[in-house]
Amino acid sequence: MGLFKDSNLITDPLADNNPVTIQVLGICSALAITAELEASIVMAIAVMFVLGMGNVVISLMRNIIPSKIRIIVQLIIVAALVIIVDLVLKAFAYQLSKTLSVFVGLIITNCIIMGRFEAFALANKPWRSFLDGIGNAAGYGIILVIVGFFRELLGSGTLLGFKVLGDSIEKTGVYAYGYENNGFMLLAPMALITLGIIIWIQRNKNTALIED
Amino acid sequence: MEHIELFFKSIFIDNMVFATFLGMCSYLAVSKKVATAVGLGAAVIFVLAITVPLNWLLDQYLLQPGALSWLGEEYADYDLSFLSFIMFIATIATMVQLVEIVVEKFSPALYNSLGIFLPLIAVNCAILGGSLFMQSREIESLGLAFNYGVSSGIGWFLAILAIAAIREKIRYSNVPPALRGLGITFIITGLMAIGFMSFGGMLTGGGDTGKGNEMSQTAIDKIIVEVDKIDNSKN
């Protein structure tokens, strides 16, 4: 029963209250690591772990944290969780942890995490906080996957490393017709512009979201 | 010479906002007015100038593999680098709290205008990112670490100042309704980033031998990853 009652905690952040496009949280990592789809997916899972666990821990401790030093307490908890993620990545996916480089560490300062701690976990019970964490991380993940999908597809002609558009050197698939990869998609500026276009489309569909 | 090189490289080529997207959250949230943008930018320079050298000392004498050798032979094998996230963020959070107290005491006007954003500096990716990049780029001396902190702070300051000025003016333009606010800010930032990419030629243009192939660290990282991938696919 509780699950159905609170299911809006998971579904809202997916679209109309998306942490990236509406609440403007967690932009840094959303842009920096989306040149490849695989890195985007791993990053989304890492954030989901940290945010879900962190929300529960903060929610359990919400009555004993003195409000003056709560930011430091929150940062220490996130940092501990991120160290777990970092060590797991280094042990099982070393190549990926190289690709993500400092951005695993920067999950600590991902504003989504602090934002949800402040806005939700400090005032709600553990189960609801957990759902909120998972929902917001999923909303963040969706944007990451969309941006990663287009950047990898248009930039290197691959998806998750598979050559879906054919081989660019041997000129098979669409390359046989003169298609070229747009290497610009892999560089920093196009990540910003891709995200801008996603926001544009989303607000065109739901005009209630338009800013004045 | 290397000081000047690092200085300009951190401001223009490896600009925190345009090349590595650090501190985007506060960059987008606080850039509606030039005055507040200047305040936050100055705070970021100040905090970076303090935390990067501090974290450099921590890294050098506590965290690096073998960093504890100054305690004696038997400590030389210790590698505490897995603690660096937690140590860096603790240093930063403490420093930010200190800055907050000082600003509140000496400049209540600035404190009021920055409002809730001063605590947000603690979670500004630019601050932690500065320390983490300092660590991963293996900056050699305390002086260079200070230089890196100040110059990347200035780079961030320039970026937020520019976008705040543009956003103040764009209010009078006829932007498509759905793009207003966040959307157009992203696209403008993208265009500015394209502009800043042209600074990449700055360090290759000089006649200095040995510096001819200098590239931004992010570009080098990308190439290394690509090469690794090719190697993997061959296996």
A63 at interface of B, judged by CB pairs closer than 8 A: no
Which 3 state secondary structure label does DSSP give B196? helix
Highest mean pLDDT pick, A190-194, B89-93, B163-167, B204-208: B163-167
**Could you tell me if A45 and A134 are in contact, meaning their C-beta atoms sit under 8 angstroms apart?**
no
Calculate what percentage of chain B has a pLDDT beyond 90: 9
Q: How far is Cα B44 from Cα B92, in angstroms, rounded to an integer?
A: 11
In chain A, residues 87-126 whose CB comes closer than 8 Å to chain B: 87, 95, 98-99, 101-102, 105-106, 108-111, 114
Predicted confidence band at B154 (pLDDT cuts at 50, 70, 90)? very high
Contact B182 A114 (CB under 8 A): no
Chain B partners of A196 at a C-beta cutoff of 8 Å? 179, 183-187, 190
Contacting B residues, span 39-58, partner chain A, CB-CB under 8 Å: none
Best of B16, B58, B182, B197 to substitute, by most chain A Cβ atoms within 10 angstroms, is: B182
Q: How many CB atoms lie within 10 A of CB A72?
A: 18
- Report d(CA B122, CA A10) in Å as an integer: 28
Question: Is pLDDT at B3 greater than 60 in this prediction?
Answer: yes
For residue range B172-217, list pLDDT tens digits in order: 888 888 888 788 888 898 898 888 888 877 766 544 444 434 455 5
Is-contact B49 B43, C-beta < 8 A?
Answer: no
pLDDT tier for residue B229 given thresholds of 50, 70 and 90:
low
Contact: A109, B132; criterion CB under 8 Å: no
Q: Which two tokens stand for residue B46?
A: 């100040």
- Give the three-state DSSP class for B147: helix
Name residue B48's amino acid: L
What's the ipTM?
Answer: 0.81
Global confidence as pTM: 0.80
Q: Does B176 touch chain A (CB under 8 A)?
A: yes
